[in-house]
């Protein structure tokens, strides 16, 4: 029997980063499936951010009601920043 994370990875494989974030925003992920989303985003966007940093940005996005496009912009900005570390609340929108 496949694990929950393996099923989630299989489901995400056909999506681009924008589609995967939109699916997450739509509530299609279960408890414990966020690591699969984070891994996909790090891989498809070629992010150097740590897993924790990506998760923090995603949760911050929920608090601020960001769209999938804004989330991807923020991930790229955080990855390109001179600090290299995402700071929750640093991107108000």
Q: Domain boundaries in the chain? A: 4-80
pLDDT digits 0-9 by tens, 35-69: 889 999 999 999 999 999 999 999 999 999 999 99
How many of the other CB atoms lie within 10 Å of CB of 75?
23
89 vs 12 pLDDT, higher one? 12
Separation of alpha carbons 4 and 93, rounded Å = 33
Supply the pTM of this predicted model: 0.76
Q: How confident is the model at residue 82 (pLDDT cuts 50, 70, 90)?
A: very low
- pLDDT(88) > 80: no
Cβ within 8 Å of residue 54, ≥6 positions away: 38, 41, 42, 47, 75, 86
pLDDT at 91 over 90: no
């Amino acid at each position: 029997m496949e694990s929950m994370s393996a099923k989630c990875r299989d489901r995400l494989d056909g999506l681009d980063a924008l589609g995967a974030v939109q699916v997450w925003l739509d509530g299609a992920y279960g408890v414990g499936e966020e690591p699969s989303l984070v891994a996909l985003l790090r891989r498809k966007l070629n992010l150097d951010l740590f897993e924790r940093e990506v998760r923090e940005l995603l949760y911050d996005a929920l608090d601020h009601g960001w769209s999938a496009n804004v989330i991807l912009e923020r991930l790229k900005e955080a990855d390109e920043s001179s600090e290299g570390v995402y700071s929750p609340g640093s991107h108000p929108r």
